[in-house]
Structure 1
Amino acid sequence: MGVLTNKVKREDLKPGDHIYSYRLAYTYSHHGIYVDKGKVIHFTRGEGQEIGTETGLDHIIWSSLPRHPLDNPCPLCSDESRSDGVISSCIDCFLSGGDLYRYEYGVTRAFFIAKARGGTCTLASSESEIQVIHRAFYFLRKGFGVYDVMKNNCEDFALCCKTGLKVIPTVNGGGQSGQAATFQAAAGVILSVSIAFLARSSPVGYAASGAARLVTNCGAYCVKRYVNDIGVRRDVVKVVLEE
């Protein structure tokens, strides 16, 4: 565990750990809560549908992942791994052939910024193992709302289980997901650079200001990620579990 990687061995997992695995050549990651005995509770759109774009990309990702034939379901979790919403499945179905990583909580600001990719750590502190697992099983019974790739995804679910916090829903607001904030920040940087390039008629003039613009955009990228972290933002509420 560290700045370079959060990869972890299965035997080192503890109940209540927030784990994740990358999909489609590290394009995005799928998150869940490890509860014990090889079981994971996670929020999903169904087998291979975690990004929930409702476009042809979903089918491409689904077809690229290892999965059990319809007539040969997983011997441990049966057809549950194909379900929508909050589900419980074995760790192999959760990983879907990917490597295992553990999300880090209570990191310093310097460490957070050093981890250039979002969806790997947070400044927020985790609550106790008992509270985390209780929330995960509660959402397994009651659900976690409608899946939304930017506002209510698998990472939002795991963060809520670990911290008890959820972003107050607004028309233009997003969730607490670190990878969603990263995508938004990166899109802003790419758009800024593209506009600047198109606005300059001389490639030499563009190159002359390139270094300064790169520094500015990298700073904006880091700030965007930081202010959207669940451990910093204030537009959050404590989730009250009601049976």
Structure 2
Amino acid sequence: MESLFLDKIGLFSNQISRDDLKPGDHIYSWRTAFVYAHHGIYIGDGNVIHFTRGDGLEIGTGTFLDKIIVGSIPNHGGDNNNPCSNCGHQSNLDGVISSCINCFLSGGNLYLFEYGVSTAIFLTKLRGGTCTIAPSDSSDEVISRAKFLLLHNVFGNYHPFENNCEDFAIYCKTSLMVGKDYMLGRSGQASSVSAAACIARMVSPWASNAIRLFTDIGMRKDVMKVPVESFVAQVNAVSTSAREG
């Protein structure tokens, strides 16, 4: 009940109706008990491009969080006996995929990730993964980036903390990439569950929010604009080198 109240007043997340959707929007849907959210880019005509892991499960931390996340994320495309009439059975797909809005939401509600928010608004959010101070590029650029990554099915290996669905959507919206020597990904979800944030949360929720602000991609100094063509070429080169090595 408390989560629903916070959601309604906008402190927890930013629920919208499908009628308000615009091509190029970064959208997300909270899973069970607001534990984890799945993110993607709405490209119009009821379709969403998003980054996922095979079997529809964003797992792989090697910690107790795997059990929580597995229980929070249903399949993206129905089941083997009753596949989606638009998408088919997608749960075995891996990487960057396109789904209808129904499969993307998987029965959850629809939320809009906000860009270019003020510091004051950012600090009022009780959870990471709902907004950023960084501005968004134009919708045409966002959609073009997402479609290019879909065409090549490239965004590296999925990792819940270091390279996840929120990271994918943020890159599509901004073309910003974090320096290689930084451990955390670009996502607010990752910073929310980092060790430092967990410790700060025990002291004060505002201390935790301050850490999220410090690690927000719109505040960090170790980011740069990376054209999608250059990014795909770099990822492919690394993959080729790893196979040959």
| TM-score normalised by length of structure 1 | 0.81
Question: What is the RMSD computed on CA atoms of the aligned residues?
Answer: 2.3
Alignment correspondent of 1:77: 87
Q: Deviations over 1:166-210 (max 9, x none)?
A: 11122x5211101111111432226xx5xxxxxxxxxxxxxxxxx
Q: Do the aligned residues in 2 keep the contact of 1:48 with 1:61 (CA within 8 Å)?
A: no
The count of residues paired between Structure 1 and Structure 2 equals 218
Distance of 2:122 and 2:158 partners within structure 1 = 26
Partner of 1:221: 208
User: Is 1:101 the counterpart of 2:111 in the alignment?
Assistant: yes
1:44 is aligned to 2:52: yes
Larger Rg: 1 or 2? 1
State the distance in 1 between where 2:206 and 2:73 align.
36
How many angstroms apart in 2 are the aligned matches of 1:48 and 1:80?
8
- Given the superposition, is the C-alpha separation of residues 6 and 176 from structure 1 closer, same or farther in structure 2, using an over 3 Å criterion? same
Work out whether residues 45 and 52 of structure 1, in 8 Å CA contact, stay in contact via their aligned partners in 2: no
Moved runs in structure 1, 4+ residues, more than 4 A?
A: 54-67
Q: Which residue of 2 aligns with 1:206?
A: none
CA distance in 2: counterparts of 1:146 and 1:76, whole angstroms: 27
Query: After superposition, what is the alpha-carbon deviation per residue over 1:113-134, rounded to whole angstroms, capped at 9, x for unaligned?
Result: 0112110001011000100000
> CA 1:95/1:168 → structure 2, altered by over 3 Å: closer, same or farther?
same
Q: Deviation string for 1:114-166 (max 9, x for gaps)?
A: 11211000101100010000000111122101111111110000000000101
* Alpha-carbon shift at residue 97 of structure 1 (Å): 1.1
Contact 1:80–1:88 at 8 Å: present in 2 too? no
- Which stretches in structure 2 are left out of the alignment for 5+ residues? 1-8, 234-245
Tell which deviates more after alignment, 58-67 or 94-103.
58-67
* Residue range with higher mean Cα deviation, 12-21 or 173-182: 173-182
| 1:13 maps onto 2:21 in alignment | yes
Name stretches of at least 5 consecutive residues in structure 1 with no aligned partner.
194-213
1:150 aligns with 2:137: no
| TM-score, normalised via structure 2 length | 0.81
CA contact (8 A) 2:136 2:174 kept: yes
